[in-house]
Structure 1
């Protein structure tokens, strides 16, 4: 969680005060929500840094994570990410219809949502191993 706080501190001074991302940070929203908001607003460096930190936190089993797999957190991360996507997004439509992970990942990649695509590809690999 310390790394996430550091990332937010590094970026918070550069955000427009009227942005949804700045508002999410100010109200203490979950890092997933902040990352999704940042991504929706085109703040891809912030979104990517947050998603990376979340993935690392999940992989290391930091406090607050009871499941160290991507699959364990996938549903909540997808819901959180989906809430920030516009309705006309192909990724949003794929999530809404419960498409396979591969299809959602491909749509995310095509729309430049590389952090989401990477998380989904990792989840696909975990599914294949199980």
Structure 2
């Protein structure tokens, strides 16, 4: 069960039926909105719990991006092994160039699968 759903379930008996908080929950609002309503209506424990859950989610999202970056680095290292040392793409990869520069060189050298991977990585970042 999702942490926000667990929090809402644990506070279910304390949320007044006609409140803005109950209405936000009923329409499936995001945790931040429910937390804001709860704070305005004096349901501070609920607001704090939802705020903390949102902060933890943001931290997990950042960690997931780090895993994606790590995965990209591993894929680049693997791809580099298959390239000859003398090509421009290899030289740029070895020098730690920006992804845009590596992508441009790869495109000029016809390395379409590397270009596709780098374009995808840029879109995920962007």
Greater share of helix: 2
TM-score (norm 2): 0.47
TM-score (norm 1): 0.46
